Structure 1
Amino acid sequence: MLVLLATVAASALFLSCRQVQRNADALAAREAPAVQGLAATRLAALRADQEVHVLVAGNLIGVAGSGETYRSQLSAADQGLSRIADRTDQDLGTVKGLLATYTDSLTLGASLYRDQPLMREQKLQEAHSLLTREGVGLVPRLDALQRVQLRHAEATAAMGGVQRGVWWLAECALAALASTLLSALFVLRDRCGRDWNAYLLAAFALTVLLAVVPLMTVSATEDGLTRAVGGLRQITEVSRRVGPEPADAQKRVTKRSEDVREDTDDGAWADRVYRATLTGSLLAVALPALGLGLRLDKDYWRRL
């Protein structure tokens, strides 16, 4: 009975910790960077458009060094999409093509046709249309990608009903194991006239630790993942509600991204606890079997 309870508890605990650790790793390595990358790409594309119009309004096109900001923003948008290509299952081909066309039109308007006002205006209007056209423009397509990616992040961080059920099974099995170990300890001591069994005592202490430490760690990790998802929602909202200054929105997104990174760092601690839990679970199965086996060997088998 002891070995059966220990096996059930260890298996349920192992599966639960493993799933939480996988969720934390997936959110930190894939989902969060993808959400952040899409937000950064959107803001960079919008800021590039704004910077070019500032140059035109101030008659600064052609002035040495005047176009560095919009060119750096276009480069940042392109790099943002490239970085998240392997972190999302969504198709980025259309968005990449739109960004390339938008970059060409904006660059032509700001550079090649800077001395031809009519052609310059046509190219800049074309770029703005490619950027904002309802439903098919670069920004609306990025909005759609952001919505889907945020849902993926929320689903990754959430603890489902099956996972909660496995946790309950693990905790109930550990409680039953602790109760059975206590009963076995008192039976051996009071009814069989034996000293406290060191193996069963160690198994009982280990069972208590397994019931408390992984649960506390998983709870802290889940809180961190919840905060991280909340930060990703804020990042998405900031990038989609850009005021007259995309640069300010970029600063806020950068700050919230740092907070999200700190929240997902709890996954590293969860990984260490998961490895310790695996070792402890194996010991929780082995110690009762070893303790009772040695007791039977001394009390019964050697007399045969």
Structure 2
Amino acid sequence: MGTRRLLRLQLGVLLALTAVASVALSVAYDDTHRRPGAVRDRTAPAILKVAAARSALMSAHLAARDHMDSGLTDEAGTDETYRTQIAAAAQSLSQISDQQVAGEAGERTLSTVISLLDVYREAIVQAVRHAERGALGRAWFHSADTILNRGETGVLSRLDELQDDQLRELSGQTVFTGSRRAAWQVAVAALIALAVALVAVQWQLGGRFPQRLNPCLLAACPILLASVWPVTWAQGTQRLLEEARGELAGVVERQSGVRAGRGLPEGEPDAAGAVIAGAPEAVTRAMDATADRGTGVAVIVAGGLAVAALSLAGLQRHLSQYRFPS
């Protein structure tokens, strides 16, 4: 092959591989570092709000049951703990409507839960009002308990369904899926191919020109080696995403073991809420740790442009300095 044709082929290969490596690495890196913000700002709060509403409902129900069992049926009605917890549950549900990430199905579930909560609150009021009449008060409380705990149609079951949908959204944002793995494999393969091509071009040029090493191509090598940093940062971010998912899934899993009514530990009305403590701070801390890595895409693009410019300068020097037969 003629020297001019070889130089043009080498330049084309280097520029093509640089473009593929830069684009693939940018896409894979951007996908990794867009996800922490979504988890921190939307998905995690939505999951924790559902958990808080569920906890408040269980604590309120326990307080109402204890109030009924105590025989205190004066004009004060339900006790302060019940009123505080049921208000907290209503507030969380109101906030969830603006934050839930389960789409239209989640909106329908929330609408049903809010309607059922109104029915539940009225049943508790009637239970306390008729507590002195024994059977009638117990019947109203049983109705309230059924509304809260009934099979697949109770308030808690519907909240669990909403939570499951939100956890699936969380998995989609945090799991290192096959498509994401493939994107990184393409990026790494292109970087390796570019490194091999740079070495091969240096070797071929050394056999045809007096100057064995091309300074521009040599300067491109450390830039290419620096691509290890974005890959390492992305691995760290993925690890933090998985830790956040584990923290949130752990909250839901631990909470699922705490049930309303008889399942709540005696004397511990806040047992359900205790499983949430610390989770928001832990998730926010993990996601904030990735914030300074978001500029990596600009660094990758700049590095790709630098390698392309050095490759062009290094080979154009030979093309313009010497005259070859066509």
Change (3 A) 1:64 1:104: closer
Tell me the distance in 2 between the aligned counterparts of 1:286 and 1:81.
56
Change (3 A) 1:58 1:221: same
Tell me the distance in 1 between the aligned counterparts of 2:190 and 2:183.
10
TM-score with structure 2 setting the length: 0.79
Change (3 A) 1:162 1:20: same
**Equivalent pair of 1:62/1:114 in contact (CA under 8 Å):** no
Return the match for 1:223 from 218, 221, 239.
239
Counterparts of 1:139-288 in structure 2 under 5 Å? 139-185=156-202, 191-194=208-211, 197-210=214-227, 212-242=228-258, 243-244=264-265, 245-288=268-311
**Equivalent pair of 2:215/2:314 in contact (CA under 8 Å):** yes
Change (3 A) 1:255 1:6: same
**Equivalent pair of 1:34/1:87 in contact (CA under 8 Å):** yes
Return the match for 1:9 from 11, 21, 29.
21
Shift of residue 65, structure 1, vs aligned partner: 11
Return the match for 1:134 from 125, 143, 151.
151
Change (3 A) 1:66 1:276: farther
Change (3 A) 1:103 1:282: farther
Return the match for 1:71 from 78, 83, 96.
83
Shift of residue 4, structure 1, vs aligned partner: 0.7
Tell me the distance in 1 between the aligned counterparts of 2:15 and 2:113.
57
- Tell me which structure has the larger Cα radius of gyration: 2
**Equivalent pair of 2:78/2:125 in contact (CA under 8 Å):** no
Amino acid across the alignment from 2:275:
R
Q: Which string of whole-angstrom CA distances, capped at 9 and with x for unpartnered residues, describes residues 86-115 of structure 1?
A: 3311222111211232233334545xx278
Q: Secondary structure at the match of 1:254?
A: coil
In structure 2, the partner of 1:22 is: 34
Amino acid across the alignment from 2:161:
A
Amino acid across the alignment from 1:133:
R
TM-score with structure 1 setting the length: 0.84
**Equivalent pair of 1:131/1:138 in contact (CA under 8 Å):** yes
Shift of residue 8, structure 1, vs aligned partner: 0.6
Return the match for 2:49 from 22, 29, 37.
37
Tell me the distance in 1 between the aligned counterparts of 2:151 and 2:124.
19
172-181 vs 233-242, greater mean Cα deviation? 172-181
Q: Secondary structure at the match of 1:253?
A: coil
Amino acid across the alignment from 2:315:
L
Tell me the distance in 2 between the aligned counterparts of 1:284 and 1:83.
50
Tell me the distance in 1 between the aligned counterparts of 2:68 and 2:26.
62
2:109 aligned with 1:96: no
Shift of residue 241, structure 1, vs aligned partner: 0.9
- Count of paired positions: 297
In structure 1, the partner of 2:67 is: 55
Q: Which sections of structure 2, spanning at least 5 residues, go unmatched?
A: 1-12, 259-263
Tell me the distance in 1 between the aligned counterparts of 2:316 and 2:91.
63
Shift of residue 187, structure 1, vs aligned partner: 5.5
Q: CA RMSD in A?
A: 2.9
Tell me the distance in 1 between the aligned counterparts of 2:163 and 2:322.
69
Q: Which sections of structure 1, spanning at least 5 residues, go unmatched?
A: none
**Equivalent pair of 1:10/1:285 in contact (CA under 8 Å):** no
Over the matched positions of the two proteins, sequence identity in percent amounts to 31
Tell me the distance in 2 between the aligned counterparts of 1:202 and 1:65.
80
Shift of residue 40, structure 1, vs aligned partner: 1.3
Tell me the distance in 2 between the aligned counterparts of 1:66 and 1:103.
10
